[in-house]
């Protein structure tokens, strides 16, 4: 019998994402929408002294503050839980 190869020796048939012919597809892709990269580059490359994760205004500030509050709250919770767990049991 011998050893059998783990990888098939023949490549599988190609799978295409559409059943339409290329001539049936529209010339432009309308589902892509407007290219927002130039607008975002203007926002993020502005030298206003803000870090990148706060450049888009109020939603970024709210997300940042919520993340910091959860991080600090979780750290305090863990420290309190460790303190309580390290206390001797009264019997």
The secondary structure of 26-81 as a DSSP string is -SS-GGG----HHHHHHHHT--SS--GGGTT-HHHHHHHHHHHHHHHHHHHHHHHH
- For 4-24, what is each residue's pLDDT tens digit? 767 666 777 777 666 666 566
- For 19-58, what is each residue's pLDDT tens digit? 666 566 566 555 567 888 899 899 889 898 888 888 988 9
Q: What is the pTM of this model?
A: 0.53
């Amino acid at each position: 019998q011998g050893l059998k190869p783990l990888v098939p020796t023949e490549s599988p048939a190609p799978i295409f994402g559409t059943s339409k012919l290329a001539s049936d597809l529209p010339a432009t892709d309308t589902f892509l929408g407007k290219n927002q990269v130039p607008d975002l580059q203007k926002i993020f490359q502005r030298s206003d002294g803000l870090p990148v994760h706060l450049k888009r205004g109020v939603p970024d500030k709210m997300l940042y503050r919520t993340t910091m509050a959860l991080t600090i709250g979780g750290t305090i919770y863990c420290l309190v839980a460790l303190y309580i767990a390290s206390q001797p049991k009264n019997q």
